[in-house]
Amino acid sequence: MRTGPARDFFHHAALPLRRMVTLAGAWLLPGECVLCGGLVEHSTAGGGRLACAACQRYYIGEWLATAGARCRQCATPLPLAASGLCADCLRRPPAFDMTVAAAPYALPLDRLVLQLKFGGRLALARLLGEAMADAALATPGFIQPDILCPVPLGPRRLVERGYNQALEMARPLARRLALPLQARMAVRVKETLALSRAATPAERRAHIAGAFAAQQREWIEGRHIGLVDDVMTSGATMNELASLLKRYGAARITCLVFARTSPHNV
């Protein structure tokens, strides 16, 4: 540790330097693209960026630009020339009103979700959450929810993993959208195992039925709630939670997910 005049000199000399770094950092901070490892420059005023400009354009840009070509309610890609709602949502409307997805659940973006969930790469949560905020603001017809609620994990899964990835993604999303976050709006009262890909929609609904319990009616009644999760596959989990919150008086539910599976890889 430096003492006396030497310490004073370094202390004062460091001040302008620190200020310069802070000022520069407000505009431009170099980071590493999570997809190609290349340089990504981002504004801290607007938050971080998941990927470099080229990867953003290639892997996410087209997806965001074609939000109108996906189902408004569940974000599944629609057949060419169709618009509005998919056949499933028309036939059996889910309990949620809208879904915003930041990216397709496909290579290489699916790896990010797996690294966050099973690889303990918790730092990814901020970038994925911020990408979800960008996607929400870029989605036509997006209405800001009143409050965000992450899809809860069961206590056993939470102990195994050490964190709920949905909550970790919801924090930066809430910050960026300036929304309150209430992680205890619902709890998971039934642990469920992942179903095989061959499971039918009816099997998925039966499997997840009764998995959640709501608490604190005052957070739910009359509110537009944003449900946050990493991936939407069949939508059965979101549907179960949304229908529970609607029974408790929620006015509207918007699902906010990082990635959405396309019909052929459900």
Chain positions contacting Zn ion, by CB under 5 A:
33, 35-36, 38, 51-52, 55, 71, 73-74, 86, 89
| Tokens standing for residue 91 | 């036939």
Phi, psi of 223 (to 5 degrees): -95, 150
Give CA angle at 194 (254, 123), nearest 5°: 65
Of 126 and 188, which has the nearer Cβ to Zn ion?
126
Of 83 and 215, which has the nearer Cβ to Zn ion?
83
Of 73 and 233, which has the nearer Cβ to Zn ion?
73
CB of 169 to Zn ion, least distance (A): 20
CB of 60 to Zn ion, least distance (A): 11
Q: Where are the alpha helices (DSSP H) in the chain?
A: 4-27, 53-55, 62-65, 87-91, 109-117, 124-138, 155-161, 165-177, 201-208, 217-220, 236-247
CB of 175 to Zn ion, least distance (A): 24
Q: Determine the 3-state secondary structure of 135 from DSSP.
A: helix
CB of 107 to Zn ion, least distance (A): 14
Contact present, 259 and 100 (Cβ < 8 Å): no
Pairing of the two strands 29-32 and 39-42? antiparallel
CB of 2 to Zn ion, least distance (A): 41
Of 37 and 46, which has the nearer Cβ to Zn ion?
37
Of 33 and 187, which has the nearer Cβ to Zn ion?
33
Q: Determine the 3-state secondary structure of 67 from DSSP.
A: helix
CB of 57 to Zn ion, least distance (A): 10
DSSP code for 61: I
Q: What is the largest CA-CA distance in the chain?
A: 78
Of 46 and 84, which has the nearer Cβ to Zn ion?
84
Give the position of tokens 């309150």. Answer: 180
| Tokens standing for residue 243 | 């229908």
Q: Is 4 left (phi over 0), alpha (psi -120 to 50) or beta?
A: left
CB of 55 to Zn ion, least distance (A): 3
| Tokens standing for residue 143 | 């209405």
Query: Is the N-terminal amide bond of 108 cis, ω within 30° of 0?
Result: yes
Query: Cα separation of 170 and 113, whole Å?
Result: 14
Of 8 and 32, which has the nearer Cβ to Zn ion?
32
